[in-house]
Amino acid sequence: MHTLFNKPIIDFDQQKVFQFNKTIKTKYGQMTIRNDNKLKESIYFVLKGSNRQIYEGVVKSRLKIKQINPDASLIEIAYEDNIPQRANTYVNAVVESFIEQSVEEKSRQSNRIIDFINQQLMDMKKKLDRSEEKLEKYRIEHQAINPTLQADTYIKELSKIEIELSKNELKKDLLDNLLLYIKKRINLDAIAPSLMELGDSATIKLITKLQDLQIKEEGLKIQYSGKHPGLIAVRKQIQFIVKKIELNVQNFKSSMLHRNNSLKKLKKRYEENLKDMPTQERTLINLKRDYQVSSKTYNYLLSKKSEHEMIKVAILSDYRIIDKAYSNGAPIKPKRKFLMLLSIAVGLILGILQVILRNYFNDKIQSKEDIENLTTLPIYGLIPELKQKNIKIEVYKDPKAPFAESYRSLRTNLQFSYKGKEANIILISSTIMGEGKTTTAANLATIFQMANYKTVLLNLDMRKPTLHHYFDVDNTYGMSTYLSSKNTISEIIKSTQYDNLDIITSGPIPPNPSELLLSNKLDTLLENLKEIYDYIIIDSAPLGLVTDSMHLIEHADTSLIIVRENYSKKLFIPDLNNLIQKHNLTHIGLVVNAVRTSSFSYGYGYGYGHDDESSHR
C-alpha cells in the first residue's frame, strides 16, 4: 500500500520510505510514481492477491493457445504485449519450458519404474539367496544327487507355472493402479511405460488417446470457461474413453483370472505327481523349483531394469518447435484499418444523424426547398447573404456583384409576372422584424432607379421606421404629418442623392398609426404618386406583429413577403397561407433573403453590362 501526492510513499510490508519519481522495487515488480497532481487528500494503491496470482492473471489474459488443425497435433501459441521482442522471448521461453518439463516428467516416470524394479530386485535377491542356501544345505546334508529325468521335468514345468503366476500378479497390481489413476484423474504418464507389459494393444491405444484428450482439455481450460462447447465436447470424449478402458481392464482381469485358475490346477496336478516320489527326491525338487523360480524372476527384473535405464538415456520430448516465435512488425492492437473504417462509418452515421436531428428540431427555414414544401406562393427572388451588415445601398456599392444581380433578377421577375398590366405599386412586408424588408425595399427601389424608372419609396412602417437612414434624409416630417394634415404632398416628397429616386419618410412616430393608415388621404396620395412615378415601393410593418399591412395590401398591385434563411420560422408559412386564404388576397409573392452563396448555381464577375439600365423608353 502506497500513499500518493504531497506525502512520502510508504511500503508497509517492508517499512521503507520512498521518494517520488524514483524506481520502487517490490515483490510485485517495479514501479515509478510521479507527483503530477496536487491533491489535498491522500490516495492509496491496494494490490490484492499474491504476486503469483497477479502475474498468472496477466499471463492468462494475454496468452492465446489454439489447435491449428483438429486432425493434426499442431498448436499455435501467441502472446500479446506492447513490446514485440518481449512477446517473442516469452513465447519461446514458454515452449522451451514445456518441452523441458515433458522430458523431466518422462525421466521421473523412468526413475519411478527403476526404483520399483530395484525394490523388487532387493526382495527377489534375498529370496534367491535363501532358496539357493536351502538347496545347497539340503544337498550336503543328505548327499542328494541330481533328480531323475522325470523329476527334472516336473521342476521345469512347475517353475514356468510359478513365473507366469508371478507375472500375472504384477499385471493385476498394474491394472488396479490404472483404474485408480483414471478414477482420481491422476496423470497417467507415471505408469504409462509399465502398461506396455500388459500386451493389450487395444487398451494401450485407448490410454494414448485419453492422454491426448487430457492435454487438449488442459489447453482449453486455460482459454475458456467450463461452459465452452469445445471443452464440453472434449470432456464427453474423455468420459467415453474412460468407460471403454474400464471395460477392457475388467475383461482383461477376467481373462487373466481364468488363466491363473488353469495354471493353479496344472500346478496342483504336478504337485500330486510329486507325492508319489520318494520324500528325499520330492524335497529336493521343491527346493530346486524355488531356486529356479527366484533365479528366473530375478533375471527377468534385471533385464527390465536394464531396458528402462536405456529408455531413460534415450528420452526425448514428444514435442518439438516447428517455428520460433516471431513478430510481423505490424501491431495487432489497435487494428488501424478497422478503426479507420469504423471511424468513417461512425462519422457518416453521426453526420446523417446530425442532419436528421437538425431538420427535425430546427424550426427555421433552411433553404428555398423548405418554402416550396410548405406553400405554392411564387418565389420572385433569392437575395444572397451580406457578410457586413451596414445601412447602405449595396446595389450601388458594387453594381456587378451577385447581390446587385439578385435584385436585377427580382426586378425582371416582377416585370414579367405582370407584363401588359399595371403593377407599379409594390408593397414589401415580412412575417416578423429582422427579416430584411427595409433593406429589400431600399435596394429594390434603387435597382428600378438604375434602369431609369422614376421611383418613389414610401415608408408606411410608422412604428419602427429606419428607411430614412439608408438615404440620410430628415424624418421630422413625413407620412404621419401628412395623414394628420400637417403637411401637403409636395412638402413630404424628399429627393435622394440618386436621380429618379425620391423618398417619403414615415415622419414622427404617431400614437395611432393604424387609424392614420385608414385615412382617405392615403388614397389621394397614392393616386397623385401614380401620375408622377413609374414605381411606388411601400415599406410596411411586419404582417405577424400588427394589422397595418393588411390595410395596405389592398392598395398594392403586388405584395412581396420577405423571409430570411436560418431566421424565419417554418410555421410562419402555413400561417401566411391561412391569412391569404381567409382574406382572399391575390398577387402575393415571396423573396428569400440572406441566402447562403453556396445555394446559388451561377456566378458573376465577367464584366458584362446591362442594357436595361440605359433607358426603358
**Tell me: the pLDDT tens digits for 101-145?**
777 776 776 677 778 778 878 888 888 888 878 877 777 676 655
Taking 90 as the threshold, does the pLDDT of residue 12 lie above it?
no
Taking 50 as the threshold, does the pLDDT of residue 354 lie above it?
yes
Q: What is the DSSP letter of 314?
A: T
Least Cα distance to 523 among 500, 555, 553 occurs for: 555
DSSP H helices in 184-200: none
Give the mean pLDDT of the chain: 79
**Are residue 426 and residue 282 in the same domain, yes or no?**
no
Helix, strand, or coil (residue 364): strand
More confident residue, 36 or 236: 236
- Distance (Å, rounded) from C-alpha 484 to C-alpha 511? 11
Q: Which residue has the cell 503469483?
A: 52
Asked if residues 292 and 299 have their Cβ atoms less than 8 Å apart, the reply is no
Look at residues 83, 108, 140 and tell me which one is the last residue of a structural domain: 83
**Are residue 381 and residue 522 in the same domain, yes or no?**
yes
Long-range CB contacts (within 8 A, 24+) of 170-179: 170/197, 171/197, 171/198, 171/256, 172/253, 172/256, 174/198, 175/249, 175/252, 175/253, 178/207, 178/245, 178/249, 179/246, 179/249
**Are residue 486 and residue 531 in the same domain, yes or no?**
yes
Look at residues 296, 313, 330 and tell me which one is the last residue of a structural domain: 313
Q: What is the biggest distance separating any 2 CA atoms in the chain, rounded to whole angstroms? A: 178
Task: With both helix axes pointing from N to C terminus, report the angle between 149-183 and 279-313 in degrees, rounded to the nearest 10.
Answer: 40
- What pLDDT sits at residue 294? 80
> Which residues are registered as beta bridge partners of 588?
559
**Are residue 525 and residue 421 in the same domain, yes or no?**
yes
More confident residue, 299 or 440: 440
**Are residue 434 and residue 285 in the same domain, yes or no?**
no
Q: What is the span of the domain harbouring residue 47?
A: 2-83
Three cell numbers written together for 328: 510481423
Q: Domain for residue 363, yes or no?
A: no
Least Cα distance to 13 among 51, 39, 42, 43 occurs for: 51
Opening angle at CA 79, ends 58 and 106, nearest 5: 90
- Distance (Å, rounded) from C-alpha 538 to C-alpha 503? 10
Asked if residues 198 and 171 have their Cβ atoms less than 8 Å apart, the reply is yes
Asked if residues 151 and 279 have their Cβ atoms less than 8 Å apart, the reply is no
Taking 50 as the threshold, does the pLDDT of residue 616 lie above it?
no
**Are residue 46 and residue 190 in the same domain, yes or no?**
no
**How many structural domains compose the chain?**
3
CATH number, position 531? 3.40.50.300
Q: What is the DSSP letter of 110?
A: H
Opening angle at CA 164, ends 163 and 165, nearest 5: 90
For 179, counting Cβ atoms within 10 Å of its Cβ (0-12 exposed, 13-18 middle, 19+ buried), the class is middle
- Side-chain half-sphere of 75: how many Cα atoms within 13 Å? 16
Strand segments, DSSP code E, in 5-163 are: 9-11, 16-18, 23-26, 29-32, 43-45, 63-67, 75-79
- Distance (Å, rounded) from C-alpha 545 to C-alpha 562? 14
**Are residue 192 and residue 297 in the same domain, yes or no?**
yes
Q: How confident is the model at residue 608 (pLDDT cuts 50, 70, 90)?
A: very low
Read off the pLDDT of residues 140-167 as tens digits, 9 standing for 90 and up: 676 655 666 666 777 778 778 888 887 7
Asked if residues 588 and 377 have their Cβ atoms less than 8 Å apart, the reply is yes
- Distance (Å, rounded) from C-alpha 228 to C-alpha 87? 27
> Which residues are registered as beta bridge partners of 495?
502
Q: Domain for residue 617, yes or no?
A: no
Look at residues 292, 313, 334 and tell me which one is the last residue of a structural domain: 313
Q: Domain for residue 349, yes or no?
A: no
- What pLDDT sits at residue 558? 93
Least Cα distance to 459 among 562, 537, 561, 557 occurs for: 537
**Are residue 74 and residue 103 in the same domain, yes or no?**
no
Q: Domain for residue 334, yes or no?
A: no
Asked if residues 178 and 248 have their Cβ atoms less than 8 Å apart, the reply is no
**Are residue 243 and residue 386 in the same domain, yes or no?**
no
**Are residue 96 and residue 74 in the same domain, yes or no?**
no
Q: Domain for residue 616, yes or no?
A: no
**Are residue 222 and residue 205 in the same domain, yes or no?**
yes
* Model-wide pTM > 0.75: no
**Are residue 116 and residue 71 in the same domain, yes or no?**
no
H or E element: which one contains 490? helix 489-492
Three cell numbers written together for 399: 453594381
Span of 189-198, 472-481, 545-554 with lowest mean pLDDT: 189-198
- Distance (Å, rounded) from C-alpha 99 to C-alpha 103? 6
- Distance (Å, rounded) from C-alpha 235 to C-alpha 231? 6
- Distance (Å, rounded) from C-alpha 390 to C-alpha 436? 12
Backbone angles phi, psi at 322, to 5 degrees: -80, -50
- Side-chain half-sphere of 425: how many Cα atoms within 13 Å? 18
Average pLDDT over residues 54-63: 69
- Distance (Å, rounded) from C-alpha 366 to C-alpha 372? 11
More confident residue, 231 or 438: 438
Q: Domain for residue 615, yes or no?
A: no
- What pLDDT sits at residue 421? 62
Q: Domain for residue 610, yes or no?
A: no
Residue 67, CA distances (Å) to 50, 87, 208, 516 in order: 31, 20, 18, 97
- What pLDDT sits at residue 71? 61
Taking 80 as the threshold, does the pLDDT of residue 415 lie above it?
yes
Q: How confident is the model at residue 195 (pLDDT cuts 50, 70, 90)?
A: low
Read off the pLDDT of residues 215-230 as tens digits, 9 standing for 90 and up: 788 777 777 777 888 8
Q: Domain for residue 373, yes or no?
A: yes
